[in-house]
A and B are shown apart, each in its own frame.
Chain A
Amino acid sequence: MMDSIEWKLDQIDCWIENSTDYVEQALLCSIRQMLLQQVNRIEQQKAELDGRMWSPKEW
């Protein structure tokens, strides 16, 4: 997942650099942040799932 997000972020960075409109550029920067937050959330959810699967309470 990290590889694919890195590629996406690089792509967004290119779009930000090429954008000439201030408001559009601001939105691109915020979408970039949003994608990172989404990935972070998914990582946390996966860690929680992993923790529960390995919890002795679940054995």
Chain B
Amino acid sequence: MKTAILISHPDIQQSSSQQFLLASMNRLENVQYRILDEQKTVDGRFDRQVESGWIANYERIIFQFPLYWYAPPATLKQWLDEVLDVSMFRSTAIKEMGVVVVVGGRKEHYQPGGKHLCTVEELIRPFQAIAHVMGWRFLPVFRVHAFSSLTQEQKKELVVEYQRYITQEDYLCFEQTQQWYIQQAFHYYQKTSNEQWKQLGEWLEELQEESTELSHILKGWK
């Protein structure tokens, strides 16, 4: 599956979270990104043909942006206004749409009764409506909260969670997650010839098989 990540940020070079995410994805195959803020033409608008042509061959598109004053950056709204068209449902390969949103505040502040009273998902509801009208499956939202307060361990977790979100078939499914790790291990083995990756892939596979066998026995029991 080919994934396109459409990033909007008013000052991406200075954003440590966006730079971190860029570094996390940079070796992934079948993933390309585009910084929307760098694509405007001299008249300050987007070239609809160029933009829609760029995303046409990807099956999954992901909008990635920070949340400022409870909203995506103005450039992203402009891109949506000037590029998106309901005919894209027929003219592109897009099947799924996801959102990666970077939020300064802590996770627990975004809930009813919390500091901001509503969830991040509620704030970006229009994206869900867009996916619906375009006939694209809307993926669960990937939220990065309070990036600067993350520990080293949490940042390492974020690298892999983010990679899974943009490349894995069904991000929340345990079986698919298992499969994703197995593929990654063998992929690294192919790339590096380092036996440790082969060993990891085999361990993951053995446990996957054992669990599948037990599932079958339990199913047969019902």
Contact = CB atoms under 8 A, between A and B. Distances in A.
A23 B27 contact: yes
Interface string B171-210: 0001001100100110010000000100110011001101
B155 to A, nearest CB: 8
B50 interface: no
Contacts of A46: 214
A47 B24 CA distance: 38
A15 B196 contact: yes
Contacts of A31: 181, 184-185, 200, 204
Contacts of B196: 15
A49 B156 contact: no
Most interface-central of B27, B153, B160 (chain A CB within 10 A): B160
Interface string A36-59: 011101100110110010000000
Given A26-B156, A31-B204, A49 B214 contact: yes
Interface of B: 23-24, 27, 153, 156-157, 159-161, 174, 177-178, 181, 184-185, 188, 196, 199-200, 203-204, 207-208, 210-211, 214-215, 217-218, 221
